[in-house]
Amino acid sequence: MNRTVLLVGIADIEVGLTASYKRAFEFLGFKVVPFNLDAERAGVAPLGRIGQRLMGHLDFFALNAKANRRLVRAAMEIKPAVIIVICTAFVRAATLLQIKVSLPATKVINIFPDTLFNLHDYVLTALPLYDLFCTHTKAGVPYLRQLGCRNPLYLPLAADTFLHYPVKLSISDRETFGCDLVYVGNWRPEHEQLFAALEGFDLAIWGSSYWGRNTRKDGWVRSRWRGRELVTGSDYAKAHLVARAGLNPIDPLNFPSHNQRVFELPACGAFSLVSRTEEVDELFREGETIVCFEGVEELVDKVRYYLAHPTERERIAQRAYEHVVQGGHTYVDRVRTILDELGVGLDK
């Protein structure tokens, strides 16, 4: 059996989704060959660093075609069983067409972990050419069919247990990350507004400099920002394990779906408070393997209650861990689902 996978995405960032799928495929015995289309596009960009930065946001047709040509040539040389495209916006439909003509036995898949709002025109045009198009938004599946997608698959996000797991905490860790409530992630105006209601609680925010630039200069929320991102899985786990509760407000454009933190925090062994959505309710059992909130008042009430009830927090965190790690919600489990959909047995 051909066990080679060409993985199109950015695999050299430890905490990125491409790296998580790379680890999962390798765990199951596949040889994974990464192909960074973004780096290829930047490599043919003029004007040095300025051109490379622009390539991340703008489409230069001729340069993009050159980078895509390199992708086709890499596929023809490697002859993989499967090509996985991880949310790469600039993979052209013509590129997929050439790959399918040249390598008819190769299955081509897109794993799209972003909100459907962010579907790039390139991706929309290429939808009919994917043998499998994976989305974590279950409600979007019938609409993807209307857009010409032949085989859309609801594939929830998951936990990378090679990256997120219960870590041993030192005294230094407790001093660095100590707080009652923690949020690790991007600034959003909705998040700032929500967190403002938690004034008076011991909240720590870890994230990019957007928190420093965009929040009110004299506001309480800005004072909660710890001044930097957490760039390793170990620090991410420590921050949530030291805190008594992790906050997971799901971005409005992700409704009615879920996000990665829904699985990541339980995999770390942490207790979390999560926005209530239809799909979160389907994936977990509220009050048993997850605690949800809807709006400011319920969040404040839940924070007060669970800060005062540590035994319940620990019980829910343990059940959530078991549900995610042992209940089929890891990226290894997601790879198995993909292979089953493709009719590729691991024993063949």
Contacts of 54 by beta carbon, 8 Å cutoff, 6+ apart: 45, 47, 60
Could you say which DSSP state residue 113 is in? Answer: -
| Cβ neighbour number for residue 163 with a 10 Å cutoff | 21
| pLDDT value for 44 | 55
* 3-state class (DSSP) for residue 102: helix
| Cβ neighbour number for residue 224 with a 10 Å cutoff | 23
CB of 9 closer than 8 Å to CB of 29: no
Q: Where does 117-217 show beta strands of DSSP type E? A: 132-135, 152-154, 181-184, 203-206
219 vs 197, 209, 223, 325, CA distance in Å?
Answer: 12, 16, 7, 39
What six digits make up the tokens of 253? 């454009």
207 vs 46, 113, 182, 225, CA distance in Å?
Answer: 32, 20, 11, 8
Nearest-angstrom CA–CA distance, 185 and 99: 37
CATH 3.40.50.2000 occupies which residues in the chain? 4-158+330-342, 171-325
Q: Give the chain's residues under pLDDT 70.
A: 43-60, 345-348
Residue 128 has, within 13 A of its CA and on its CB side, a CA count of 6
What's the farthest any 2 CA atoms get from each other in the chain?
A: 63
Residue 25 has, within 13 A of its CA and on its CB side, a CA count of 24
Through-space distance between the first and last CA atoms of the chain, rounded to whole angstroms: 6
Domain range 171-325, CATH architecture: 3-Layer(aba) Sandwich (3.40)
34 vs 40, 242, 289, 325, CA distance in Å?
Answer: 12, 35, 35, 26
What six digits make up the tokens of 210? 């957007």
Nearest to 299 by CA among 159, 170, 197: 197
Stated pTM of the model: 0.92
Q: Which residue type sits at 101?
A: V
Instruction: Point out which residues pair with 206 in neighbouring strands.
Output: 184
| pLDDT value for 141 | 98
Domain range 4-158+330-342, CATH architecture: 3-Layer(aba) Sandwich (3.40)
The dihedrals phi and psi of 154, each to the nearest 5 degrees, come to -75, 110
Could you say which DSSP state residue 139 is in? Answer: G
| pLDDT value for 53 | 56
Nearest-angstrom CA–CA distance, 157 and 124: 21
Nearest to 239 by CA among 157, 309, 167: 167
| pLDDT value for 55 | 56
Contacts of 95 by beta carbon, 8 Å cutoff, 6+ apart: 68, 69, 71, 72
Nearest to 13 by CA among 160, 123, 155: 160
| pLDDT value for 348 | 45
What six digits make up the tokens of 13? 């960032």
What six digits make up the tokens of 54? 């622009």
